[in-house]
């Protein structure tokens, strides 16, 4: 028993060491990942629930690490937030997303929107708006084609600065969406006086459960209240025809999920659109 205890302590220590080493490695590697061309953006369509017409795309970052392979975004975005690397990473994502969708719109004569995930750290920075304006100028994407996705935590404290930033975004014509809606502490009432344009209903509310009727009640409640506040509702994680039909009946505005398309890299997106646009 004594030996086993010792081994357990030893393996616990080595486990922690491994984790720390891995973090140091990832941190160093992330610093050069964009220069090395290891980062990529994948795009997933958002479609109008009633017509099935594509409104635009959410940009989702991908890191293909040279030795560790594909690393899921929450793992390195949270690390990047701790180290401050989220600033250059976030700006890379924003510039790249605006540039890609501008190119598609120019080529196809479309007006697609692009939704970009912005970390709370980015959003709260004093120079956030200035950098955003700069990227829009550089890329030429009209502000009215951009949506910024924020998690509800960003606005829970409703600081004056955050509210002022939202007002400026609105006056610029930029859309704002509350991501993963319903998973935090917020209720819709906190959105009442905030200039937000969309809520994205978390996909956990679409899952069938023993208590399926309860989820359905929440979904309907969010849609009804959001509409009364003048907000659009996006349902994330739509995987089945039944979910689509249900959301359509409930007057959900926009749908996103594997049923329509998985997030795709640019070449695949171009092909996907080629098939769906008359050209
Ligand atoms: P999110 O913003 O909630 O993004 C939606 C996630 O759901 C994506 O995971 C997407 O691939 C996945 N998804 C889409 N449709 C379906 C579906 O029908 N079924 C299921 N099961 N999943 C679906 P992904 O790409 O792994 O991203 C995970 C999270 O990482 C995102 O969650 C977002 O919070 C964060 N993230 C991704 N890209 C960025 C970025 O550029 N910046 C920041 N700050 N965070 C990002
Ligand atoms: Ca999102
Ligand atoms: Ca989400
Ligand atoms: Ca999520």
Q: What's residue 2's pLDDT?
A: 52
The model's pLDDT over 181-231, given as tens digits with 9 standing for 90+, comes to 887 766 777 788 889 999 999 999 888 766 667 888 889 999 999 999 999
Q: 121: exposed, middle or buried (C-beta count within 10 Å: 0-12, 13-18, 19+)?
A: middle
Q: What's residue 5's pLDDT?
A: 61
| Residue 60 CB–ligand 1 contact under 6 Å | yes
How far, in Å, from the CA of 195 to the mean position of ligand 2? 18
Q: In the structure, what pLDDT confidence band is assigned to residue 132 with cuts at 50, 70 and 90?
A: very high
Helix, strand and coil in the chain, % to nearest 5: 55, 20, 30
Which ligand ends up closest to the CA of 93? 1
The percentage of the chain sitting over the pLDDT mark of 70, rounded to a whole number, equals 94
Q: In the structure, what pLDDT confidence band is assigned to residue 277 with cuts at 50, 70 and 90?
A: low
Give the chain's count of helices (H) and strands (E).
Answer: 9, 9
How far, in Å, from the CA of 60 to the mean position of ligand 1? 6
The model's pLDDT over 97-107, given as tens digits with 9 standing for 90+, comes to 999 999 999 99
Query: Among 37-46, 101-110, 269-278, where is mean pLDDT lowest?
Result: 269-278
Which residue's CA is the nearest one to ligand 1's atom 11? Answer: 263
Instruction: Indicate the pTM of the whole model.
Output: 0.93
In the predicted structure, residue 180 carries a pLDDT above the cut 70:
yes
Report the distance separating Cα 171 and Cα 159, nearest Å: 19
* Average predicted confidence (pLDDT) for the chain: 91
The answer to whether residues 189 and 196 touch, using CB atoms and an 8 Å cutoff, is no
Query: Among 4-18, 20-34, 36-50, 259-273, where is mean pLDDT lowest?
Result: 4-18
| Residue 180 CB–ligand 1 contact under 6 Å | yes
State the closest ligand 1 atom to the C-alpha of 81, by its place in the atom list counted from 1: 44
The model's pLDDT over 24-40, given as tens digits with 9 standing for 90+, comes to 888 999 989 988 999 99
The model's pLDDT over 236-257, given as tens digits with 9 standing for 90+, comes to 999 999 999 999 999 999 999 9
CA angle 147, 152, 154 (to 5 degrees): 85
Q: What's residue 67's pLDDT?
A: 92
In the predicted structure, residue 133 carries a pLDDT above the cut 80:
yes
Token pair of 21, please? 């080493």
């Amino acid at each position: 028993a004594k030996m086993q205890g010792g081994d357990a302590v030893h393996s616990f220590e080595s486990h922690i060491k491994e984790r720390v080493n891995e973090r140091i490695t990832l941190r160093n590697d992330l610093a050069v990942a964009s220069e090395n061309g290891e980062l990529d953006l994948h795009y997933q369509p958002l479609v109008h629930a009633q017509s099935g017409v594509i409104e635009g795309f959410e940009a989702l970052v991908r890191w293909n690490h040279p030795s560790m392979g594909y690393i899921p975004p929450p793992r390195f975005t949270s690390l990047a937030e701790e180290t401050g690397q989220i600033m250059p990473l976030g700006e890379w994502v924003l510039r790249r997303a605006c540039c890609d969708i501008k190119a598609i719109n120019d080529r196809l004569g479309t007006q697609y929107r692009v939704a970009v995930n912005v970390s709370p750290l980015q959003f709260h920075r004093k120079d956030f708006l200035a950098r955003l304006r700069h990227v829009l100028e550089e890329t030429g994407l009209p502000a009215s084609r951009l949506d910024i996705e924020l998690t509800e935590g960003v606005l829970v404290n409703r600081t004056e600065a955050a509210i002022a930033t939202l007002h400026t975004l609105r006056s610029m014509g930029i859309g704002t969406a509350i991501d993963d809606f319903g998973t935090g502490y917020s209720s819709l009432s906190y959105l009442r006086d905030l200039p937000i344009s969309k809520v994205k209903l978390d996909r956990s509310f679409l899952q069938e459960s023993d208590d399926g009727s309860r989820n359905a009640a929440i979904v309907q409640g969010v849609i009804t209240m959001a509409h009364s506040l003048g907000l659009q509702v996006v349902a994330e994680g739509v995987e089945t025809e039944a979910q689509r039909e249900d959301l359509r009946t409930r007057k959900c505005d926009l749908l996103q999920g594997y049923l329509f398309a998985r997030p795709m890299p640019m070449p695949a997106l171009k092909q996907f659109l080629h098939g769906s646009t008359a050209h």
